[in-house]
Every structure is written in C-alpha cells, then in structure tokens.
Amino acid sequence: MKYHVISLGCPKNKVDSERFAWVMNSAGWTHCDEPDPSDLIILNTCAFIAPATEESLEYLSDIMNWKSERPGRKIVLAGCLPGRYSDDGSGGLEDIDLVIGPGDWRKLSSWLGVVPQGHALVSGSGSYRYLKIANGCSNGCAFCTIPSIRGGFVPRQLDSILRESDLLVEQGAKEIGLVAQDSGNWRQDDSDLAALAETLAVRHPSIWWRLYYLHPLHFPGRLPEIFCKHSNILPYVDMPVQHASDHILARMGRKHDVRTIEKIMETLDDLPVEVAVRYTVITGYPGETEADFLSLMDFLGRYRSGRHIAAFGWYPEEGTLEYSRAIDRGDSVDDSTASRRLATISSVGDSLYADWDERLGGRELDVLADDPLTGHTKWDAPEVDAVVSFTEPVVAGTIVRAKIVESSGAVLVAEPVK
Ligand code: SF4
C-alpha cells in the first residue's frame, strides 16, 4: 500500500510531515512521490491567514476528487486547518478518513494500530533540512491565530535536539534550519538560542546552520557575536518585525517598540561580517495611518543588512483580538489603500535587491547546490529567497565556490570556479 504526503505552509509543517511519514513507514506503507498510484494521501495544511486557508481548501477539494476516482482510497487531513476549524460543527468532513491536529502523529499511529520504530526522521532527504526546537507560542499577538491552534510555547530538550541533529547530518543534510514559532525564545537552564546554535555549529562544523523566526522581543543579544565567531552559523536573520510605528506595534501586542528593532539593525549593520535580514511585515493593519505607513517604508529602506521583505496585508482572522476590535472601532484600512500600500512595499523590496545585486556582482561565493543546476547562498534561505542558477551542472548536495556573473533580484547566475 502506498501513501503520498502534501505539506503546505512553512518549514515547521515539513518537520511534522516527516513524523507522519515515519509512522506510515512503521506501519508497512510505502512512500510514493505521486498521488495517482497512492492509496492514501496525508494533506498537512496551513491556516495561518485567509490565503493559506483558501489554498488548503483548494487542495482538499482536489483530493476529494482524487478519492472519488477509485474505491478504497483514503484521506488523512492534518495540520492547522482541522486544528482551527474542527470544532465549528459545520460538518463537511465525512469523506475524510482521519482528522488530526498539528503534528499529532500519535493519533495517526493509534489509527493505524502501530507503535512507530526507530527515529522520526527516517523519511527525510535533501541538501537542506529543518530541525524544530520548540512548539507553540505564548506571545499572543492581536492578529495571530497560532497560539489558539498550536498552544503555548514549549521548548524541546537540548538532548533531543542534539540527537536529531546527528541523525540529519547522517542522512546527508548540508544545511539545517532551526525552526519554531518563536525560535529566539528557546531556553534551557543558562542556555539560549545563541548558545544552542554555537553548540550545534561546533558539533557539526561542516554544516550550515540557519536560524528562522527571530521575534525582536527575544532576539538573542549574543547572536551578532557568534555570527562573527562561527562561519557556519549563517549571517542571516529571519525577523518578523511586522511594523515600524510604535502605535501599530502596541496595537499588534508586540511588546516592544520601534527602537528595539532599530538597535538590532544598527548592530547588524556594524558587524564585520555581511548579514542579510529577511523582514516580515504586515501593512493595512487597522488604525494604520499614512504616517504609520511612511514610517514603515522609511525603516525598510534604511539598513544595509536588509535583503528580503515578505509583506502581507492584514486579514480579519476570526478568533483573534483584532478581529472584534477592528469591527468595534470601525477603523479598518479600506481595500484600495491596503493594496496600494502592499504594492509600494514590494517596490522597496526591489530596491533592496538592486542594492545587493551591485554588491554581489563579480564576487566569488560559496553556494549550496540543491540540485545540479540550482542552489542558494548563505544570505538566501532555500525555497523563499533568491536562487542561484549555475552556468554548468555541479554535484548536488555540495558547497560550490562560484562567481556571480549576473544578478537580478531573486535570480543570481553563477559560474563554478575551477
Ligand atoms: S509571535 Fe505573535 S505572530 Fe508569531 S506565532 Fe506568536 S502570536 Fe503569532
């Protein structure tokens, strides 16, 4: 019997999907890359914001059709979509054989009647992998559904993280991304995320370590120092700043001010190593004035380390504090203003890329080859940032020294150096 897994959303879901695959393999099922020959599909969904929910529902509808084409096919619906909507009593889940919440591999294993053997990561492969260091979030941002779906922040134990890192390296990973909803909040005894990254970098010195989801409130103070000390801790900061107006940050419930993020950026800009920051921001937030928006634009264009901007519009997500507050106050930003602001931010993103294009042109860099023809630099996370296109095939899964011969925003063309 064959199964196929569809994993939507962020890298954290990919880690959950690997655990589901581990359970399926333990029960004697065989993984299949294609849905058609498969007897069962696990759809691991994301429902963080409205577009993610819509994407998950579109996949679900396609899979319902897939099931109706052959008797005996089964569907397992997992992740945030059922985590968020399973209790709403609206039905519609009759064709689904099993519904499980985010990361709930135990429910899958009891449904299959199997006690999984070995380690949860037996199913993974590829040049880059992800290692989850915590679950949930306790920050309670006013726009966010995550704490209600995934629960409060629970860090994983150091021993367990180290064991998993060993296994990922044994499986051939060349880059490992540390992920959590709020990675900077990881702690055990006197250790923080910077100490954890340092421990991992020393334990596996040939691996590239990338840190994701660094909330400014929990940005580890020693991180800039360890970027300089360990060349395999990638000088890359994935930071959800969300806004750069004090009054919007306060309304979002972010618990820090603009000066907090300015100080982080000033520190990164002053380092002897070149750091790339990926900002995540929300515009069109209820109560956002033109002056607030201009503050955000000014901030995003100000720092040399700024490389990527992931901008989102605000969505009235049911169940969040802002959902009812925006209705009560009647101060939502109208759709056309919100769309214009979103489009304007993407033009700032283009100018950041243009600046980096100038800096990278003609330089020799290390590039991790994800396949024979493409890879990524230390300043670009796989799947979401700029891609390097090699001028000739290289060996997948190796770090290749290459010269940038052309650069145009999200695509860098590089010639391997002999
Ligand atoms: S930090 Fe805020 S936005 Fe991020 S997951 Fe936690 S509550 Fe949501």
Residues 332 and 394 in one domain: no
Specify if 117 maps to a domain. Answer: no
Assign 289 a pLDDT band (cuts: 50, 70, 90). Answer: very high
Whether the pLDDT of residue 309 is over 90: the answer is yes
281 lines ligand 1 (CB under 6 A): no
182 lines ligand 1 (CB under 6 A): yes
* More confident: 212 or 82: 212
Domain CATH code at residue 395: 2.40.50.140
Asked if residue 374 and residue 354 are part of one domain, the reply reads no
One-letter amino acid identity for 260? T
Whose alpha carbon is nearest atom 4 of ligand 1? 181
CA distance 208 to 4: 29
Q: What percent of the chain has a predicted confidence (pLDDT) above 70?
A: 95
In this prediction, residue 87 carries a pLDDT of 45
Query: Which CATH number goes with the domain that contains 284?
Result: 3.80.30.20
* Residue 118 in domain: no
Burial of residue 101 (CB within 10 Å: 0-12, 13-18, 19+) is middle
Kindly give the distance from the C-alpha atom of residue 141 to the centroid of ligand 1, in angstroms, as a whole number: 5
Q: Within a domain: residue 251?
A: yes
Probe target for ligand 1 pocket from 182, 252, 255, 261, with the most ligand atoms within 8 Å of CB: 182
Please say if the pLDDT value at position 46 is more than 90: no
Separation of CA 138 and ligand 1 centre (Å): 8
Ligand 1 atom nearest the C-alpha of 181 is 5
Same domain, 265 and 177: yes
What's the pLDDT score for residue 235? Answer: 98
Atom of ligand 1 nearest to the CA of 242: 3
Say if ligand 1 is within 6 A of residue 196 CB.
no
Ligand 1 atom with least separation from CA of 253: 2
Which of residues 360, 386, 408 is at a domain's end?
360
Statement to judge: residues 9 and 56 lie in one domain: yes
Q: Which domain CATH number covers 60? A: 3.40.50.12160
What pLDDT, on the 0 to 100 scale, is given for residue 80? 85
Residues 239 and 300 in one domain: yes
Whether the predicted pLDDT of 27 surpasses 60: yes
In a domain, 382, yes or no: yes
Give the total number of structural domains in the chain.
3
Closest Cα partner for 153 from 111, 215, 94?
215
**Long-range pairs, 119-122, Cβ under 8 A, ≥24:** 119/22, 119/163, 119/164, 119/167, 120/18, 120/19, 120/22, 120/164, 121/18, 121/22, 121/164, 121/167, 121/168, 121/171, 122/22, 122/25
Mean pLDDT rounded to a whole number for the chain = 92
Residue 188 inside a domain? The answer is yes
- Examine residue 276 and state whether it is found in any structural domain, yes or no: yes
Nearest CA to ligand 1 atom 2: 141
Give the pLDDT score at 180.
Answer: 95
Q: What angle do CA 171, 174, 177 make, to 5 degrees?
A: 100
Residue whose entry in the numeric block shows the structure tokens 């294609």 = 34
The answer to whether residues 219 and 320 belong to one domain is: yes
Q: Do both 374 and 390 map to the same domain?
A: yes
The larger pLDDT score, comparing residue 199 to residue 149, is at: 199
Indicate if 231 and 272 belong to the same structural domain: yes
For residue 146, how far is its CA from the centre of ligand 1 (angstroms)? 6
16 found inside a domain: yes
Domain that holds residue 374: 364-416
- 242 Cβ inside 6 Å of ligand 1: no
Q: What is the pTM of this model?
A: 0.87
144 lines ligand 1 (CB under 6 A): yes
User: Which atom in ligand 1 lies closest to the alpha carbon of residue 140?
Assistant: 7
- The encoded tokens of residue 7 equal 């994993």
The confidence score (pLDDT) of residue 67 equals: 93
| Position 88 pLDDT exceeds 60 | no
> Phi/psi at 270 (nearest 5 deg)?
-85, -5
Q: Please check the confidence at residue 91 and state whether its pLDDT lies above 90.
A: no
Share of the chain above pLDDT 90, in %: 78
| Greater model confidence, 85 or 275 | 275
Residue 285 pLDDT class (50, 70, 90 cuts): very high
Atom of ligand 1 nearest to the CA of 137: 6
Q: Find out whether the beta carbon of 146 lies less than 6 Å from any atom of ligand 1.
A: yes
Residue 125: the pLDDT is 63
Task: Place 53 in a pLDDT band, splitting at 50, 70 and 90.
Answer: confident
Tell me: pLDDT of 183 over 80: yes
- Say yes or no: 291 and 172 in one domain: yes
CB distance 140 to ligand 1 below 6 Å: yes
Structure tokens at 293: 């928006």
149 ligand 1 Cβ < 6 A = no
Q: pLDDT tens digits for 115-139?
A: 877 666 544 568 999 999 999 999 9
Q: Measured in angstroms, how far is the CA atom of residue 314 from the centroid of ligand 1?
A: 14
Give the range among 103-112, 134-143, 406-415 with minimum mean pLDDT: 103-112
Q: How confident is the model at residue 104 (pLDDT cuts 50, 70, 90)?
A: confident
Q: Per the domain annotation, does 119 fall within a domain?
A: no
Residue 353: is its pLDDT beyond 80?
yes
Residues 248 and 318 reside in one and the same domain: yes
Do 134 and 85 share a structural domain?
A: no
What distance in Å separates the CA atoms of residue 79 and residue 83, rounded to the nearest whole number?
A: 6
What confidence tier does 89 reach under pLDDT thresholds 50, 70, 90? very low
Distance from the CA of 412 to the center of ligand 1, in angstroms? 32
- Same domain (yes/no): 293, 392: no
Q: Span 66-87, mean pLDDT?
A: 84
pLDDT at 124 (0 to 100) = 56
